[in-house]
Amino acid sequence: MSLKHILLGMLANPASGYDLKKDFEYSLSNFWNAELAQIYPTLGKLEQDGLISSKVQPSSQGPNRKVYKRLKAGQNELTNWLKQGPIIPKMRIGYAAQFSFLQELNYEERLEFVYALQRDTKKRLAVLQKFVELYPLPGAEKQSEHFSTKQEKEAYALQALVIHHGLLRLQALLDWCDLAIAQMKAIK
Amino acid sequence: MSLKHILLGMLANPASGYDLKKDFEYSLSNFWNAELAQIYPTLGKLEQDGLISSKVQPSSQGPNRKVYKRLKAGQNELTNWLKQGPIIPKMRIGYAAQFSFLQELNYEERLEFVYALQRDTKKRLAVLQKFVELYPLPGAEKQSEHFSTKQEKEAYALQALVIHHGLLRLQALLDWCDLAIAQMKAIK
DNA sequence: TCGACCATGTAACTAGTTACATGATTCG
DNA sequence: CGAATCATGTAACTAGTTACATGGTCGA
């Protein structure tokens, strides 16, 4: 199960299941997501396996929190996972499958399908753009000098790059929408 | 379950479960895949639901084939699905999650991670390129005039576009690999 | 005759989703 | 006082994967 390793990675700093869910909802959701109903049992398994440990702490606002931290065994498991090389996802791109069946619809319905995809992509791009502004790539501008330690520079660069990955992906999709609309109009 | 609808879409022409698996392995695998162990039961459910029907036919080479064809109810189900608009996949991009944890590895290991991703992407791009050659976009060249009926032109254009979608996606990923390698070297 | 491919299926398991259950605090 | 947010969990279900079982045909 990949989520085990993802949570292990996210636990660079101690956090509760609820905290981790928040992380998914923000920037992380561009490349992974998980529901609380999956996070809690998975944290339980990680603890059983001795990869993380938990400590109950009072919350400033609400019931007690169960804060997890990564153990040495968890650290090892994580680096081993990373050393096994990049995991190429099995593609399940629903809209692309649907697109290849668009002959079943008429001209207007087909175009509307692609317009809807375009609108959705623009919306998601607008959300991402805010993160891109928070994490501009080092080089072009003068940021990154803000960071004193090498650790901080590295952390910043990785964050910025992963956000940029989402950006390139969404831009490529938008380009494709334009192409599809043009082609579909051309053969009308 | 999306696979139900995908199979329904793929059954524009009658086919057996084995045939459909072949379709996944070729061009389709760029945006969807399914194993035979999932295809056979799903075809069974579709038949139970009265969306497709089957007929056992002798094979020229091997045991009897169970050939399915789409019924009117299946056609309706398919168009309703398409009219509900594009399905935006929940992203589960393993390598991107891993990338955001690369601080756990040292410089050489991190670079090797991205090089491995680059190699894999180039490989997949080379495979796709063969389909791109079979289905060049109409407009630039003189193909698509080969097709007499509007139906054929439309089918060709949709195929060409969906293949091009994969192309743009992989090219964006390659661009990102270059960017990541450059940035990571810059902050070494 | 052996391996590759044709062809269909079941069983056990893993991963992920949706719905439900519970209860505290904070802000308007 | 009601809605939003904090906080953790279970149960039932859906989707997908891996392993296993069976057996036919064709070509080297």
Of B83, B116, B141, at which residue does a domain stop? B83
Report the chain A residue with the minimal C-alpha distance to residue B105. Answer: A79
Nearest to A143 by CA among A156, A162, A128: A156
**Chain B residues close to A91, C-beta within 8 Å:** 29-33
What are the beta bridge partners of residue A56? A66
CB of A66 within 7 Å of some strand D atom: yes
| A146 shares a domain with A72 | no
Q: What is the pLDDT of residues A161-172, one digit of tens each?
A: 999 999 999 999
| A105 shares a domain with A37 | no
In this structure, is residue B107 part of a structural domain? yes
Query: What pLDDT is stored for residue A42 in this prediction?
Result: 98
In this structure, is residue B41 part of a structural domain? yes
Q: What is the pLDDT of residues B3-22, one digit of tens each?
A: 999 999 999 999 999 999 99
Helical H runs in A89-135?
94-99, 107-134
| A165 shares a domain with A104 | yes
| pLDDT band for position A125 (cuts 50, 70, 90) | very high
d(CA B94, CA B62): 39
**Chain B residues close to A171, C-beta within 8 Å:** 172
CB contact under 8 A, B104 and A6: no
| B69 shares a domain with B45 | yes
| pLDDT band for position A188 (cuts 50, 70, 90) | confident
| B99 shares a domain with B71 | no
| A165 shares a domain with A124 | yes
| pLDDT band for position B142 (cuts 50, 70, 90) | low
| A59 shares a domain with A123 | no
Of B83, B103, B124, at which residue does a domain stop? B83
| B6 shares a domain with B65 | yes
Q: Percent of chain B at pLDDT above 70?
A: 96
CB of B62 within 7 Å of some strand D atom: yes
| A54 shares a domain with A111 | no
Task: Name the residue with the least CA to C1' distance from nucleotide C7.
Answer: B63
- Residues A33, A35, A41, A43, CA torsion sign: positive
Q: What is the pLDDT of residues B32-60, one digit of tens each?
A: 999 999 999 999 999 999 999 999 998 88
d(CA A50, CA A65): 20
CB contact under 8 A, B183 and A159: no
User: Into how many domains does chain A fold?
Assistant: 2
Distances (CA, A) of A64 to A18, A58, A59, A108: 11, 4, 5, 55
B88 with A95: CB under 8 angstroms? Answer: yes
The CATH number covering residue B25 comes to 1.10.10.10
Q: Which nucleotides along chain C are within 7 A of a protein C-beta?
A: 5-12, 14-20, 23-26
Q: What is the pLDDT of residues A54-96, one digit of tens each?
A: 999 988 888 899 999 999 999 999 999 999 999 999 999 999 9
In this structure, is residue B89 part of a structural domain? no
pTM beyond 0.85? yes
CB contact under 8 A, B81 and A98: yes
| B175 shares a domain with B101 | yes
| A124 shares a domain with A57 | no
Domain span holding position A50: 2-83
| A104 shares a domain with A71 | no
Q: What is the pLDDT of residues B78-98, one digit of tens each?
A: 999 999 999 999 999 999 999
In this structure, is residue A89 part of a structural domain? no
Say which residue, B146 or B37, is predicted with more confidence: B37
In this structure, is residue A15 part of a structural domain? yes
Of B21, B53, B83, at which residue does a domain stop? B83
In this structure, is residue A60 part of a structural domain? yes
Distance B36 CA to C5 C1' (A): 15
